[in-house]
Amino acid sequence: MNCREIQSSLDLYRGGEMSGALREEIRIHLESCVHCRQEWEAGQVTWRLLDSWADASPSEDFDQTVLARMRTLAAESSRGLWQPRWWSWKPALGLAAVLVLIVAISLLLPFREIGREMTVSVPDDQLWNDLERMMEATESSSLSVYDAWPLEETTVLEEETGGIDESMGS
């Protein structure tokens, strides 16, 4: 190995994460090469300096906050609002709900006018109930974690967690 390769291997050398032969090669090199030895010593000092950056504590209600939000999600899940991957089409759902609402209102307005003079059956209850449910679903989802996790990120994450499975599978 040349000096450049030695220096980029010093971190693995420090951790003892290399074969015995390689370790011996580096040890011998460090004894004879002043430049690499200085790099090794400086690296050791830096590594120890990093030890003095102490851990901080998260706030005391960290767990409670997470668990409370988790329960909200779980409740949505058990009510059937939260299905696997459903949030990935949440924006489309919101848009669809708004469009359906606009179309529905535009269709129903003439009937309301007529309804003053003649008896017309009220708009299909089922339709309104469905719309309300959809709007509720859209609203409740935007209150929770979804704001912090826009669509693109969810997609990326899912792709990448898939990546773990492949790369770490063997």
Partner 1 sequence: MSKAFEDDPDVQLMLRVQGGDEEAFAQILRRYRRPVYNFILRFLQEPGRAEEIAQDVFLKVFQARRSYQPRAKLQTWIFKIATNASLKEIQRRKQSWGLEVPLGPRDEGEAPLEVAVDAHLDLLERLERAEIEVLLKNAMARLPVKERQAILLRKYQGMSYREIAATMSCSEGSVKTYIHRAKHRLQKYLRPKVRPPVSGGAKLSPARVPGESV
Cβ closest to partner 1, residue 49 vs residue 143: 49
Work out whether 101 is an interface residue with Zn ion (CB under 5 A): no
Give the nearest distance from C-beta 154 to partner 1 in angstroms: 9
Q: Is the dihedral of CA 28, 29, 34, 37 positive or negative?
A: negative
Q: Please work out, in degrees rounded to the nearest 5, the angle formed at the alpha carbon of residue 94 by the alpha carbons of 90 and 96.
A: 110
Q: Which residues contact 23 (CB under 8 A, 6 or more apart)?
A: 13, 16
Site string for Zn ion, 2-21 (x = CB under 5 A): -x------------------
What ranges make up the beta strands (E) of 9-104?
Answer: none
Cβ closest to partner 1, residue 46 vs residue 119: 46
| Cα distance between residue 132 and residue 59, in whole Å | 38
Q: Which residues contact 80 (CB under 8 A, 6 or more apart)?
A: none
Length of the chain: 170
Q: For Zn ion, how many residues bind (rule: CB under 5 A)?
A: 3
Work out whether 89 is an interface residue with partner 1 (CB under 8 A): no
Site string for partner 1, 62-81 (x = CB under 8 A): xx-xxx-xxx-xx-------
Interface residue list for partner 1 (CB under 8 A): 7-17, 23, 27, 30-31, 37-38, 40-59, 62-63, 65-67, 69-71, 73-74, 84, 87, 145, 148-149, 153, 156-158, 160-165, 167-170
